[in-house]
Structure 1
């Protein structure tokens, strides 16, 4: 198996080479490096902003009037079109990430999203709005393919796993801004009530467009493309204060060279077929596809995109109240997701996944019971209890599925198939999201609380499937590769 990337400093054979006195807050070069990494991490904020913005817009009468009160399939299309745009970019994103480099691929995606958010803000018709959202999804595919890989490939070893886990956790930073922006604009008596949130969606992309080409390029990509001197300088500058003879830098440099040489000679077939040609890669792909599917079909899709419809069915109909709860929920989510990101190395991946799945199953069952009680008997307390269990459900979701699905996917993929494997992961997420976004409003209207029971049944089967899937993760984690670098728990 080829080069693993996200490792805990104390779990590797080069732990003794790391300067224990060097922390992210007391070393100028590490502070600079982590600032560049934050620029990459906010790629996820664009995606999180979109989901929360669309939730908020559905509570704005100004938006509903502008787009003729969309519902059912039309509302599903408005939500799903961004992920349809993402699908269009998937055939090209991994080739661009491997071809022109991680930085330029992020720049390309950010450029498209800047243009698309301008069109979205200026939309004069539902068709123009849908077209702009398609372009946002298309551009996001390129940035989201390259950014988390670059985070992993330039991070200082001791911070690699937490920082990569933060990538998906910062989905909620975007959702918080969107939720509170729509809460702040719902009293604007003009189309700027929805245009302003649409405009602010482009902020992360504007920052990346302006700055990303000044960030460091991946040393692995540089070495892969014969630019070893640049790679060594990059590692030395950020990991050892410019000392190219530092033992840690030399170890990382030689490990990367050996891993890439291994990929070229022993595992030289790097086409799409290589994802399934070996038993190890087939296990990886089963895990990746399962995680991508579970991440969107754990019952979270209802609240993520159709919170206002859920609220309407439990008697909470005021726009201000809906938007306020949405804003508080996003802050709650971010807190749990960031907390879990820093617990990854301490508690382990397997434990977090199983804990998350079991608690989600419990809290979703409670939501279904309370929803049914309100629908059948009209008890206000039951409707309010649904809100409490939504918060508890999301805390359970956030301790594993928010921080780990991206970081673990990137962790278990060797360099030679990393871009393609991560592309498959994103593709499965988009396909399941599109289906989710189309089906949820229709099913909720038709089945009401009974739809919760359907999703709870799926959660139960997911929990038992996950136990089997995570057993495979544990087997992969025990596999050692060259230079004794090991996969995380």
Structure 2
């Protein structure tokens, strides 16, 4: 079969016109199967969200507080942050496992550790064992949260890659919902099972992964990197073209991945940690990745995510039932907003969503601060109710971009040769930011009350400025094309030439690629 030659329409990615318009996620059996495997990977984020919301809910359970001797300030901060300290301990190993044994076995190993750790957490007779078990949960979560999203983005059908990867992080809220309502339901139990039951339920998604994840197909990019090209082509063909290895889309995907691998091997060469800062393009990537990771946790979101009960107590809402109910409703609201935003990432683009999200967050968090201050000064009940309203509005703004897009964006701007290491830096940054949030926030709230919110108001303005000047648009590009954007016109042209050499597809790279990520692909024929 002759290789395809085509001229994409303006604004389209190179593979757009190779997609079969009749092959959709709901009417193609193999796409349905592929997306079912992807759902199994997506529940990693559910497990992460469950943990965060469970800790939030446990703080409103008198049974939990009494059993652990009413932890406050430093001890409460440690109970919240120890999971992320455990995650930090796992990060030195995560990229080597992902690139060494594969994405799929790495997810399996992490899920197995989490199942064991959750069992220990549930049976904990003391606060020290509880803390140790949570450290293990964080350690295992590092491996699942490193391998799963990479496998999602590298395995997905091109048309659905960005929305599915965006759903990954948005599903954090699905775990948050189950945990919030589990703690609300167990509140009526007059024993330690009021907190042990929600803890036990935490193991369910990881247990499902342990049983099924080894049946998930491996990343074609990983297989090609390991020299297993026939197996990679078979997977691409089976899931993306009903088994047709000569399908135009499959050949284009396969040859572009091979070209990117060859470019990395012959031109880039260095794939060690030093490579993350060895070129101007990689420095741009690291700057953006570290920034959005910090922004995702240092925008005030950690206050409602982990210490909502403390925030509500500060505005006079101290009834545990009311606190748990608000926690559950907020989780549902956040999930709806996150999933809705995930469906729009390829329609509106990354820059508009990120910038709009940051500006709205700044507005709503500032109004929340003003209302909090008014309640503190004069005890206004209307001000307290307004704080709750702005918490919900802020959540909608946050979930417009920072919930669905941070993982998607981080993965798509990283070329394969540094994807595991770069994503590891992204996860480390989030964990460091979370440790700060979870340990410092309860101390700062106790000491400063509403005045602590002003710090976040100022920081949010800085975020808006950074995103406007430095964020690069990546809409409508394959993973390989997106990665080449950061390395300039030369890299784009070399990648296109290598792909043409392999496949016979006569396509040249961007005539012009600017920092906003615009590109034009033309047929030389």
Q: Name the CA distance, whole Å, in 1 between partners of 2:488 and 2:189.
A: 58
Once residues 456 and 11 of structure 2 are traced to their aligned partners in structure 1, the CA distance between those partners, rounded to angstroms, is 40
Residues 270 and 417, structure 1, Cα contact 8 Å, conserved in 2: yes
Q: Which residue of 1 aligns with 2:522?
A: none
Distance in 2 of aligned mates of 1:74 and 1:131? 14
Name the CA distance, whole Å, in 2 between partners of 1:455 and 1:32.
44
Distance across 1 between alignment mates of 2:392 and 2:125: 36
> Is the contact between residue 170 and residue 334 of structure 1 (CA under 8 Å) also seen in structure 2?
yes
Per-residue CA distance 1:224-269 (angstroms, 9 max, x = gap): 1111111111111101111111111111111111111111111111
Deviations 1:319-374 (A, max 9, x none): 11101111010110011111111110111110011101111111011111111111
Aligned to 2:504: none
Q: Which residue of 2 aligns with 1:3?
A: none
1:347-403 superposed Cα distances (whole Å, 9 cap, x missing partner): 111001110111111101111111111111111111111000000001000001001
DSSP-derived class of the 2:145 partner: helix
Task: Give the C-alpha shift of residue 465 in structure 1.
Answer: 2.3
Q: How far did residue 488 of structure 1 move?
A: 6.8
Cα shift at 1:9? 13
Residue 411 of structure 1: how far off its partner (Å): 0.5
Q: Which moved more, 1:110-119 or 1:469-478?
A: 469-478
Q: Give SS of 2:471's match.
A: helix
Is 2:408 aligned against 1:407? Answer: yes
Structure 1 alignment gaps of length 5 or more = 1-7
Correspondence 1:139 to 2:145: no
Taking the aligned partners of 1:13 and 1:276, their CA distance within structure 2 comes to: 29
Per the TM alignment, residue 11 of structure 1 is displaced from its structure 2 partner at its CA by 2.7
- Maintained 8 Å contact 1:301/1:436: yes
Deviations 1:4-31 (A, max 9, x none): xxxx997322222110001000000000
Which residues of 2 match residues 7-46 of structure 1 at below 5 A? 11-46=12-47
- Secondary structure class of the residue paired with 1:402: coil
State the distance in 2 between where 1:473 and 1:23 align. 23
- Which one has a bigger Cα radius of gyration? 2
Contact 2:315 2:384 in 1 (8 A): yes
State the distance in 1 between where 2:517 and 2:116 align: 40
Q: Does the alignment pair 1:274 with 2:310?
A: no
2:121 maps to 120
Given that 1:292 and 1:428 are in contact with CA atoms closer than 8 Å, whether structure 2 keeps it comes out as yes
Q: What aligned pairs does 1:354-373 form with structure 2 within 5 A after superposition?
A: 354-373=355-374
Instruction: Tell me the TM-score normalized by structure 1.
Output: 0.96
Query: How far is the alpha carbon of 1:473 from its aligned partner?
Result: 7.5
Contact 1:283 1:472 in 2 (8 A): no
- Could you say what the CA RMSD is over the residues aligned between the two structures, in angstroms? 1.8
Contact 1:287 1:473 in 2 (8 A): no
Does the aligned pair in 2 maintain the 1:340–1:403 contact within 8 Å? Answer: yes
Residue 207 of structure 2 aligns with which residue? 206
Contact map agreement 2:281 2:487 (CA 8 A) in 1: no
For residues 179 and 20 of structure 1, the distance between their equivalents in structure 2, rounded to whole angstroms, comes to 41
Which structure has more relative contact order (CA 8 Å, sep 6+)? It is: 1
Q: Distance in 1 between matches of 2:139 and 2:517?
A: 32
User: Matches of 1:65 and 1:316 in 2, distance apart?
Assistant: 20
Count of aligned pairs between the two proteins: 482
- What residue ranges of structure 2 are gaps of 5+ in the alignment? 1-8, 476-481, 497-508, 519-525
User: Superposed, which structure 2 residues align to 1:101-116 within 5 Å?
Assistant: 101-116=102-117
User: Within 2, Cα distance between the matches of 1:227 and 1:465?
Assistant: 42
The equivalences for 1:42-441 within 5 A come to: 42-441=43-442
Q: Offset at 1:455? A: 1.6
Distance in 1, Cα, partners of 2:457 & 2:370:
11
The answer as to whether partners of 1:9 and 1:15 remain within 8 angstroms in 2 is no
The alpha carbon displacement at 1:126 in A equals 0.4
Residue in 2 that maps onto 1:469: 470
Query: CA offset at residue 478 of structure 1?
Result: 10
The 1-side partners of 2:209 and 2:155 are apart by 17
Q: Distance in 2 between matches of 1:153 and 1:450?
A: 45
Per-residue Cα deviation, 1:85-130 (whole angstroms, up to 9, x for no partner): 0000000000000000000000000000000000010011000000
